[in-house]
Amino acid sequence: MKQYLELCRRVIDSGEWVENSRTGKRCLTVINADLEYDVSEGLLPVLTTKKLFWKQAIAEMLGYLRGYTSAADFRKIGCNTWNANANENAEWLANPFRKGPDDMGRCYGAQGRDWRNPEGESVDQLQGVYNDLRQGIDNRCEIMTFMNPGERDRACLNSCMHTHTFSVLGGKLYLTSYQRSDDLPLGHGFNQVQVGWLLMVMAQITGLRPATAFHKIVNVHVYEDQLVLLRDVQMKRDPLPLPKLHINPDIKTLRDLETWVTPDDFALEGYQHHPAIKYEFAV
Protein backbone atom coordinates (compact mmCIF):
# COMPACT_ATOMS: atom_id res chain seq x y z
CA MET A 1 0.00 0.00 0.00
CA LYS A 2 2.87 2.40 0.74
CA GLN A 3 4.22 1.91 -2.79
CA TYR A 4 0.79 2.61 -4.28
CA LEU A 5 0.22 5.78 -2.26
CA GLU A 6 3.71 7.03 -3.11
CA LEU A 7 2.94 6.49 -6.81
CA CYS A 8 -0.35 8.40 -6.44
CA ARG A 9 1.50 11.29 -4.83
CA ARG A 10 4.12 11.27 -7.59
CA VAL A 11 1.47 11.49 -10.32
CA ILE A 12 -0.35 14.33 -8.58
CA ASP A 13 2.81 16.29 -7.76
CA SER A 14 4.81 15.83 -10.97
CA GLY A 15 2.44 14.45 -13.62
CA GLU A 16 1.79 16.24 -16.91
CA TRP A 17 -1.58 16.60 -18.59
CA VAL A 18 -2.02 14.53 -21.74
CA GLU A 19 -4.99 14.46 -24.10
CA ASN A 20 -6.15 10.86 -24.63
CA SER A 21 -7.62 10.47 -28.11
CA ARG A 22 -9.34 7.12 -27.43
CA THR A 23 -11.39 8.36 -24.47
CA GLY A 24 -11.54 12.07 -25.27
CA LYS A 25 -10.37 12.85 -21.73
CA ARG A 26 -7.26 14.41 -20.25
CA CYS A 27 -4.91 12.33 -18.08
CA LEU A 28 -2.39 13.45 -15.49
CA THR A 29 0.54 11.25 -16.51
CA VAL A 30 4.02 10.06 -15.47
CA ILE A 31 6.32 7.59 -17.21
CA ASN A 32 7.82 4.50 -15.55
CA ALA A 33 7.01 2.93 -12.20
CA ASP A 34 8.42 -0.17 -10.53
CA LEU A 35 6.61 -1.97 -7.73
CA GLU A 36 7.52 -5.15 -5.85
CA TYR A 37 5.27 -7.59 -4.00
CA ASP A 38 6.71 -10.22 -1.68
CA VAL A 39 4.13 -13.01 -1.70
CA SER A 40 6.33 -15.66 -0.07
CA GLU A 41 4.14 -15.64 3.06
CA GLY A 42 0.88 -15.59 1.14
CA LEU A 43 0.14 -11.87 1.50
CA LEU A 44 -1.91 -10.61 -1.44
CA PRO A 45 -1.11 -7.05 -2.62
CA VAL A 46 -4.70 -5.84 -2.45
CA LEU A 47 -5.64 -2.19 -1.89
CA THR A 48 -6.96 -1.36 1.58
CA THR A 49 -7.65 2.38 1.19
CA LYS A 50 -10.79 1.41 -0.72
CA LYS A 51 -12.81 -1.77 -1.04
CA LEU A 52 -11.51 -3.82 -3.94
CA PHE A 53 -13.61 -6.51 -5.59
CA TRP A 54 -10.63 -8.84 -5.62
CA LYS A 55 -12.56 -11.91 -6.75
CA GLN A 56 -13.43 -10.12 -10.01
CA ALA A 57 -9.73 -9.42 -10.50
CA ILE A 58 -8.93 -13.10 -10.05
CA ALA A 59 -11.83 -14.09 -12.32
CA GLU A 60 -10.49 -11.83 -15.06
CA MET A 61 -6.99 -13.33 -14.93
CA LEU A 62 -8.49 -16.82 -14.76
CA GLY A 63 -10.37 -16.02 -17.98
CA TYR A 64 -7.14 -14.92 -19.64
CA LEU A 65 -5.44 -18.16 -18.65
CA ARG A 66 -8.34 -20.08 -20.17
CA GLY A 67 -8.07 -18.18 -23.44
CA TYR A 68 -11.48 -16.48 -23.25
CA THR A 69 -12.27 -14.00 -26.02
CA SER A 70 -15.93 -13.29 -25.20
CA ALA A 71 -17.25 -10.96 -22.51
CA ALA A 72 -20.03 -13.52 -22.00
CA ASP A 73 -17.51 -16.12 -20.82
CA PHE A 74 -16.05 -13.63 -18.36
CA ARG A 75 -19.51 -12.85 -16.99
CA LYS A 76 -20.09 -16.55 -16.34
CA ILE A 77 -17.13 -16.64 -13.94
CA GLY A 78 -18.10 -13.41 -12.16
CA CYS A 79 -16.22 -10.76 -14.13
CA ASN A 80 -17.98 -7.82 -15.82
CA THR A 81 -14.94 -5.75 -16.76
CA TRP A 82 -15.13 -6.57 -20.49
CA ASN A 83 -18.76 -5.70 -21.16
CA ALA A 84 -18.06 -2.08 -22.09
CA ASN A 85 -14.95 -2.59 -24.20
CA ALA A 86 -16.56 -5.45 -26.13
CA ASN A 87 -19.93 -3.79 -26.69
CA GLU A 88 -19.66 0.00 -26.23
CA ASN A 89 -16.33 0.96 -27.81
CA ALA A 90 -17.31 2.84 -31.00
CA GLU A 91 -14.10 2.00 -32.85
CA TRP A 92 -14.46 -1.70 -32.07
CA LEU A 93 -18.14 -1.76 -33.01
CA ALA A 94 -17.13 -0.49 -36.46
CA ASN A 95 -14.20 -2.89 -36.78
CA PRO A 96 -14.73 -5.45 -39.59
CA PHE A 97 -12.96 -8.12 -37.53
CA ARG A 98 -15.54 -7.96 -34.72
CA LYS A 99 -17.58 -11.16 -34.76
CA GLY A 100 -20.64 -9.88 -32.92
CA PRO A 101 -21.94 -9.09 -29.43
CA ASP A 102 -19.47 -9.70 -26.59
CA ASP A 103 -16.58 -10.48 -28.97
CA MET A 104 -13.29 -9.10 -27.60
CA GLY A 105 -11.18 -10.09 -30.58
CA ARG A 106 -7.57 -11.21 -30.54
CA CYS A 107 -6.43 -9.83 -27.17
CA TYR A 108 -5.26 -11.31 -23.88
CA GLY A 109 -6.43 -14.94 -23.76
CA ALA A 110 -6.36 -15.32 -27.53
CA GLN A 111 -2.65 -14.54 -27.56
CA GLY A 112 -1.67 -16.39 -24.38
CA ARG A 113 -3.28 -19.66 -25.50
CA ASP A 114 -3.58 -19.33 -29.29
CA TRP A 115 -0.72 -17.23 -30.68
CA ARG A 116 -0.36 -17.71 -34.45
CA ASN A 117 3.03 -18.24 -36.04
CA PRO A 118 3.79 -17.19 -39.68
CA GLU A 119 2.39 -20.50 -40.94
CA GLY A 120 -0.87 -19.88 -39.11
CA GLU A 121 -0.26 -22.64 -36.57
CA SER A 122 -1.44 -22.18 -32.99
CA VAL A 123 1.15 -21.67 -30.24
CA ASP A 124 0.04 -22.21 -26.64
CA GLN A 125 2.44 -19.98 -24.74
CA LEU A 126 1.08 -20.75 -21.28
CA GLN A 127 1.25 -24.52 -21.76
CA GLY A 128 4.90 -24.26 -22.77
CA VAL A 129 5.80 -22.15 -19.74
CA TYR A 130 3.86 -24.47 -17.45
CA ASN A 131 5.57 -27.58 -18.84
CA ASP A 132 9.01 -26.07 -18.25
CA LEU A 133 8.27 -24.81 -14.74
CA ARG A 134 6.86 -28.19 -13.69
CA GLN A 135 10.29 -29.60 -14.48
CA GLY A 136 12.12 -26.76 -12.76
CA ILE A 137 13.36 -25.47 -16.12
CA ASP A 138 14.14 -21.80 -16.62
CA ASN A 139 15.67 -21.14 -20.04
CA ARG A 140 15.30 -17.35 -19.54
CA CYS A 141 12.44 -17.45 -22.01
CA GLU A 142 9.60 -18.50 -19.72
CA ILE A 143 7.45 -15.75 -21.18
CA MET A 144 3.75 -15.41 -21.89
CA THR A 145 2.86 -12.27 -23.83
CA PHE A 146 -0.58 -10.99 -24.71
CA MET A 147 0.79 -8.37 -27.13
CA ASN A 148 0.88 -9.31 -30.81
CA PRO A 149 1.71 -6.32 -33.05
CA GLY A 150 0.37 -8.17 -36.08
CA GLU A 151 -3.12 -8.46 -34.59
CA ARG A 152 -3.53 -5.20 -32.69
CA ASP A 153 -6.22 -4.13 -35.17
CA ARG A 154 -8.22 -7.25 -34.36
CA ALA A 155 -8.80 -6.57 -30.66
CA CYS A 156 -11.27 -4.37 -28.81
CA LEU A 157 -8.42 -3.13 -26.61
CA ASN A 158 -4.66 -3.46 -26.75
CA SER A 159 -3.55 -5.54 -23.78
CA CYS A 160 -2.53 -3.28 -20.89
CA MET A 161 -0.61 -5.70 -18.66
CA HIS A 162 0.82 -7.45 -21.65
CA THR A 163 3.77 -9.69 -20.73
CA HIS A 164 4.61 -12.04 -17.86
CA THR A 165 8.10 -13.46 -17.43
CA PHE A 166 8.66 -16.29 -14.94
CA SER A 167 12.06 -17.00 -13.38
CA VAL A 168 13.26 -19.89 -11.22
CA LEU A 169 16.05 -19.40 -8.71
CA GLY A 170 16.85 -21.74 -5.85
CA GLY A 171 13.51 -23.56 -6.10
CA LYS A 172 11.64 -20.26 -5.87
CA LEU A 173 9.40 -18.79 -8.56
CA TYR A 174 9.61 -15.11 -9.45
CA LEU A 175 7.40 -13.10 -11.79
CA THR A 176 8.04 -9.92 -13.74
CA SER A 177 4.88 -8.40 -15.22
CA TYR A 178 5.03 -5.57 -17.76
CA GLN A 179 2.21 -3.07 -18.16
CA ARG A 180 2.03 -0.45 -20.91
CA SER A 181 -0.84 1.61 -19.47
CA ASP A 182 -2.16 1.97 -15.93
CA ASP A 183 -5.41 3.66 -14.84
CA LEU A 184 -4.12 4.33 -11.33
CA PRO A 185 -7.38 4.95 -9.41
CA LEU A 186 -9.45 2.25 -11.12
CA GLY A 187 -7.58 -0.46 -13.02
CA HIS A 188 -4.39 -0.58 -10.98
CA GLY A 189 -6.00 -2.31 -8.00
CA PHE A 190 -7.08 -5.19 -10.24
CA ASN A 191 -3.67 -5.44 -11.88
CA GLN A 192 -1.83 -5.45 -8.56
CA VAL A 193 -3.94 -8.35 -7.31
CA GLN A 194 -3.52 -10.21 -10.60
CA VAL A 195 0.27 -10.00 -10.48
CA GLY A 196 0.41 -11.42 -6.96
CA TRP A 197 -2.23 -14.06 -7.63
CA LEU A 198 -0.61 -15.22 -10.87
CA LEU A 199 2.70 -15.82 -9.14
CA MET A 200 1.11 -17.66 -6.22
CA VAL A 201 -1.15 -19.91 -8.28
CA MET A 202 1.56 -20.74 -10.82
CA ALA A 203 3.90 -21.65 -7.97
CA GLN A 204 1.29 -23.99 -6.52
CA ILE A 205 0.61 -25.86 -9.76
CA THR A 206 4.31 -26.18 -10.63
CA GLY A 207 5.57 -27.30 -7.23
CA LEU A 208 7.72 -24.21 -6.69
CA ARG A 209 7.78 -21.72 -3.82
CA PRO A 210 6.40 -18.24 -4.56
CA ALA A 211 8.89 -15.42 -4.02
CA THR A 212 8.68 -11.85 -5.35
CA ALA A 213 6.59 -10.32 -8.12
CA PHE A 214 7.99 -7.31 -9.96
CA HIS A 215 5.34 -5.04 -11.49
CA LYS A 216 6.78 -2.72 -14.16
CA ILE A 217 4.54 0.01 -15.56
CA VAL A 218 5.27 2.40 -18.43
CA ASN A 219 2.45 4.98 -18.57
CA VAL A 220 0.76 5.72 -15.24
CA HIS A 221 -2.18 8.10 -15.37
CA VAL A 222 -5.17 9.57 -13.55
CA TYR A 223 -8.14 10.76 -15.63
CA GLU A 224 -9.29 14.29 -14.91
CA ASP A 225 -12.68 13.09 -13.64
CA GLN A 226 -10.94 10.79 -11.12
CA LEU A 227 -8.49 13.28 -9.64
CA VAL A 228 -10.61 14.84 -6.90
CA LEU A 229 -11.71 11.51 -5.43
CA LEU A 230 -8.17 10.15 -5.50
CA ARG A 231 -6.57 13.23 -3.96
CA ASP A 232 -9.24 14.28 -1.49
CA VAL A 233 -10.67 10.92 -0.44
CA GLN A 234 -8.55 7.83 -1.05
CA MET A 235 -5.16 9.38 -0.38
CA LYS A 236 -6.31 10.75 2.98
CA ARG A 237 -7.10 7.26 4.27
CA ASP A 238 -4.62 5.28 6.32
CA PRO A 239 -3.56 1.92 4.79
CA LEU A 240 -4.43 -1.27 6.67
CA PRO A 241 -2.52 -4.58 7.00
CA LEU A 242 -2.43 -6.81 3.93
CA PRO A 243 -4.61 -9.95 4.02
CA LYS A 244 -3.46 -13.49 3.37
CA LEU A 245 -4.65 -15.40 0.30
CA HIS A 246 -5.72 -19.01 0.74
CA ILE A 247 -5.71 -21.15 -2.39
CA ASN A 248 -7.71 -24.37 -2.58
CA PRO A 249 -5.03 -27.09 -2.12
CA ASP A 250 -6.87 -29.29 -4.64
CA ILE A 251 -5.69 -26.95 -7.41
CA LYS A 252 -2.66 -28.90 -8.59
CA THR A 253 -2.42 -28.55 -12.37
CA LEU A 254 -3.02 -26.16 -15.24
CA ARG A 255 -5.85 -28.44 -16.29
CA ASP A 256 -7.55 -27.69 -12.97
CA LEU A 257 -7.42 -23.96 -13.71
CA GLU A 258 -8.81 -24.59 -17.18
CA THR A 259 -11.75 -26.71 -16.10
CA TRP A 260 -13.28 -26.51 -12.63
CA VAL A 261 -11.62 -23.72 -10.64
CA THR A 262 -13.76 -20.66 -9.77
CA PRO A 263 -13.03 -17.47 -7.82
CA ASP A 264 -14.63 -19.18 -4.82
CA ASP A 265 -11.58 -21.46 -4.60
CA PHE A 266 -9.70 -18.46 -3.21
CA ALA A 267 -10.28 -16.76 0.14
CA LEU A 268 -8.79 -13.73 1.88
CA GLU A 269 -8.03 -13.91 5.57
CA GLY A 270 -8.22 -10.62 7.42
CA TYR A 271 -9.10 -8.28 4.56
CA GLN A 272 -9.75 -4.91 6.21
CA HIS A 273 -10.57 -2.00 3.93
CA HIS A 274 -12.05 1.46 3.75
CA PRO A 275 -15.35 1.99 1.87
CA ALA A 276 -15.55 1.56 -1.89
CA ILE A 277 -14.99 4.56 -4.17
CA LYS A 278 -16.88 4.84 -7.46
CA TYR A 279 -14.36 6.12 -9.98
CA GLU A 280 -15.34 6.96 -13.56
CA PHE A 281 -14.48 4.29 -16.14
CA ALA A 282 -13.09 5.50 -19.46
CA VAL A 283 -14.12 3.39 -22.49
Point out the residues that are catalytic: 160
* pLDDT per residue as tens, the chain (283 positions): 789 999 999 999 999 999 988 788 999 999 999 999 999 999 999 999 999 999 999 999 999 999 999 999 999 999 999 999 999 999 999 999 999 999 999 999 999 999 999 999 999 999 999 999 999 999 999 999 999 999 999 999 999 999 999 999 999 999 999 999 999 999 999 999 999 999 999 999 999 999 999 999 999 999 999 999 999 999 999 999 999 999 999 999 999 999 999 999 999 999 999 999 998 777 6
**Domain range annotation of the chain:** 2-269
- Homologous superfamily of 2-269: Thymidylate synthase/dCMP hydroxymethylase domain (3.30.572.10)
**pLDDT value of residue 97:** 97
Q: Please give the full DSSP string across the chain, using - where no structure is assigned.
A: -HHHHHHHHHHHHH-EEEEETTTTEEEEEEEEEEEEEE-TT-B-----SS---HHHHHHHHHHHHHT--BHHHHHHTT--TTHHHHHT-HHHHT-TT--STTB-BSSTHHHHHHEE-TT--EE-HHHHHHHHHHTT---S--EEE---GGGGGGBSS--SEEEEEEEEETTEEEEEEEEEEEETTTHHHHHHHHHHHHHHHHHHHHT-EEEEEEEEEEEEEEETTTHHHHHHTGGGSPP-PPPEEEE-TT--SHHHHHHT--GGGEEEES---PPP-------
